[in-house]
Chain A
Amino acid sequence: MRAMIEISELTFDYPGLRALDAVSCRIEAGSITALVGPNGAGKTTLMRCLCGLEQPLAGQIRVDGIDVIAEPRRSHERLGYLSDFFGLYEDLTVDRCLRHAALAHGLRGALDGPVRDTAARLGLEDRLQQRAGDLSRGLRQRVAIAQAMIHAPRVLVLDEPAAGLDPEARHSLAALFRALQATGMTLLVSSHILSELEQYATHMLVLDGGRLLEHRALTGMTGTRRTLSIGFDGDGAALAARLKAHDGVHDLDLKAQRALFGFEGDDRAQAALLRELVSGGVEVINFGLAASDLQERYLATVGQRGSPP
């Protein structure tokens, strides 16, 4: 899978504080990555560096092949960003907010189409002539997201997008993110509400103390790459040996009578793996795509340190 975002040895310092410590990762095109970690982990700093809003001390960031640090303005053609504390031009109508965002992102010519399409996507068609300052929190959030994506960026970075939203608004936000992913957009979303991220995230990136603790796929939603789960009875070591010997298996996590692992392969390859395990004498109780179980993974990675999300 092609990497849309490539971060290499990214280091960011505040005086007396290393906020990001040689962070490296590759984020696949078309994925929705949940960026999680305790307060002060470096999530916002990472997102702001990624968007060219902060200058790191060292390291490289590429978005769709563009060096963000060297060419931040050019990279903004490919990026949309929603800050955790965003604002709107309160005295402008929603229509004018969107038109200004479109013009500022370099869209030219007739703007009626992009404005109408974006408004429709976010359920704002009947709010276009309303002042942004008169909207509710949920609608303001939608306008802010609409502004960030009106230029059809390849990557959308959202910092705590669901903060302050009611459950219904959160649900529609999750549906929107899935719809955007279906169009091929790559999303990086930070949130403390893990159950909400679980609704749409395909990958999880865990930061703590400025370090990258884990980056892995959560479900089999990205092409041929998937996370599988096996419930078994008997000897775990024998199962582990068989899995490790099998092509396409990686990141094996064996606990009690359950194995979780990444798998590169299509449905036929998955069926072949099951056949091989059963014929090899492994007593398989259940086998299939792992539920994402973000909360569990997160706590397994970070929770040992006793830091609540």
Chain B
Amino acid sequence: MNPELTRLLWLEFTPSRVASVLVALFAVLGLGWLIDDQTIGTKTASFALAAFAIVTVAWGANQVGQSLLEEIRGRTWDQQRMSALSPWTMTWGKLAGASAMAWLAGLIALAAYALGGAHGAELLWKLLLLLSGAVLIHGMSLFGALLLLQRGPAGRSSMVLRLVGGLVVAWAALAFVRSETGVVEWFGTRYPLLAFTASVVCLLAAWIVYGSERLMCEALQLRTRPFALLAFLVFATGLAAGFVVGAGTAPATRVLLTAACGLGVALLTAYFSAFALRGDPLLPRRLAVDARRRDWARVGAALPVWLVSLAFAGVCALLARLAFANVDMPLPLDLWFQAPAGALPIFLYGVRDLVVLFGLGCTVRAGRTELVSLIYLALVYWLLPGILTLAGASVIGRLVTPMPWIRPDEAVLILLAHVGLAIAYARLAYLHRVQPLTAAAGSRS
């Protein structure tokens, strides 16, 4: 048996905990049964669903995240990292073990829901959605805890945030489960919304668990290569493109729209990772040392998510630009007509910002980087354009924030200059903070 699962079961399944959870659960279900005229009907099913949301989704997610954060607070994480457990064993051990009690209560609640709720295929899809949704939220909690682990000691607010976040998502999903009967069109084919959503949530749950395993690899100092990230970007691009590519869309337009979706997905991932993942000011030096030794496996492992995502975004931007020339106008929506024209400038905006964020990561004290990065983004996308517009300085405004789809070629030239300045700043920041080496003293001994 998985040792991590065993340890968490020892902690979770104490007689007092089992008794108190079961008493509370059956009290809730019993109340529903009484309100439902002493039958297991729709009201009992609603109570069961609420119990599932609170106990399994929200509380379970909190338990999963805590199972990792407690290791940091209790200083037992090094012991785990020194074990022979594989990242996968550790990941599913924590996911299943920490939420075992929540799942016990949740499965009882789902049984009550099944007896009083929907029937047939609809019930099966709803059960699949609820189960995979819970796994998705638990996976997100573990993923978030692993991100916090990268960034240092977790704050006290994290438990409240997880509980509130879990509850919000759970209630949104429940509202959907109880009401939704529509259809969705994806790549021109119409699917029942419930079945489609359940399938997508299933896939997303698998991705978040896999992503947690990848982060666990990094936490255990195991090399990971960026193939999993690239596979996820392809998946997310395909998922998003399905909503904008119709059955009758011409091949060139399909490429254009898919590339535009890929650009958006990759830039979102790059910005998210720049904020959520730990920055490594030593990155250029690591890459240089490994490249000099021709250790390409280590180079691949050292590549940060934002850089890989940017590379993917660059390929998509080029594809979009090339496909744009071959597309017969107009496209289905004005936005989709205009956006691909600005693919390259949008990509360059991303490059500029992420290089600046790397530079800020070198200079700003750890813990304040996010705030300073947000101030930077607010400054360049909101404050400066606003001030220049109010001042009537439209020419300077075009130099500061060129519009990607009004004069794309001009925007490319201006943004290339921005990127050059950003690289110069990042280089200076790197040389100032990271490059000058002093002998070890006064840090961790």
Contacts and interface: CB of A to CB of B under 8 A. Distances in A.
- Our verdict on whether A and B bind, yes or no, reads yes
Interface of A: 13-21, 37, 39-45, 51-55, 57-58, 72-73, 76-77, 79-81, 83, 85-92, 96, 100-101, 103-106, 147-148, 151, 209-211
Given A52-B221, A83-B75, A104-B85, A16 B433 contact: yes
Interface stretch (B104-112, B194-202, B282-290): B282-290
Nearest to B78: A83
A54 B79 contact: no
B74 A89 contact: yes
Given A76-B83, A86-B78, 7 more contacts: A15-B434, A16-B438, A18-B438, A53-B82, A81-B82, A210-B439, A210-B440
Interface string B34-52: 0000000000000000000
Contacts of B329: none
B279 to A, nearest CB: 10
A42 B440 contact: yes
Main SS class of interface, B:
loop
B172 to A, nearest CB: 35
Interface of B: 3-4, 6-7, 10-11, 74-76, 78-86, 220-222, 281-282, 285-286, 289, 293, 362, 433-445
Contacts of B3: 100, 103-104
A34 to B, nearest CB: 15
B292 to A, nearest CB: 9
Contacts of A105: 83-84
B286 A73 contact: no
Contact of B285 (A41, A57, A77, A148): A57
A16 B437 contact: yes
Q: Which of B6, B83, B285, B440 counts the most A-chain CB atoms under 10 A from its CB?
A: B440
B28 to A, nearest CB: 28
Contact of A55 (B6, B10, B74, B221): B221
Contacts of A96: 7, 10
Nearest to A159: B445
B68 to A, nearest CB: 14
A72 B223 CA distance: 10
A73 B445 CA distance: 24
Contacts of B74: 87-90
Given A39-B445, A42-B445, A57-B282, A92 B7 contact: yes
B78 A15 contact: no
Given A13-B282, A19-B440, A44-B445, A89 B7 contact: yes
B439 A104 contact: no
A21, A73, A92: most-surrounded residue (chain B CB, <10 A)? A73
B47 to A, nearest CB: 32
Contact of B82 (A37, A51, A87, A90): A51
Contacts of B79: 83, 86-87, 101, 104, 147-148
Contacts of B286: 57
A213 B82 CA distance: 29
A79 B221 CA distance: 15
A21 B439 contact: yes
Contacts of A79: 82
25 contacts: A13-B282, A14-B282, A15-B281, A16-B434, A39-B441, A40-B443, A42-B445, A44-B444, A45-B445, A57-B282, A57-B289, A83-B78, A86-B79, A88-B74, A88-B76, A89-B7, A89-B76, A91-B11, A92-B11, A100-B7, A100-B10, A104-B84, A104-B85, A106-B84, A210-B439
B280 to A, nearest CB: 9
A159 to B, nearest CB: 9
Contacts of B11: 89, 91-92
Nearest to A84: B445
Contacts of A14: 282, 443-444
Given A52-B221, A57-B286, A92 B10 contact: yes
A54 B438 contact: no
Nearest to B76: A87
B368 to A, nearest CB: 15
Nearest to B80: A104
Contacts of B362: 15
Nearest to B293: A58
Given A13-B282, A87-B76, A104-B4, A54 B82 contact: no
Contacts of B293: 58
B443 A17 contact: yes
B82 A41 contact: no
B64 to A, nearest CB: 17
B445 A41 contact: yes
Contacts of B281: 15
Nearest to B280: A15
A101 B11 CA distance: 15
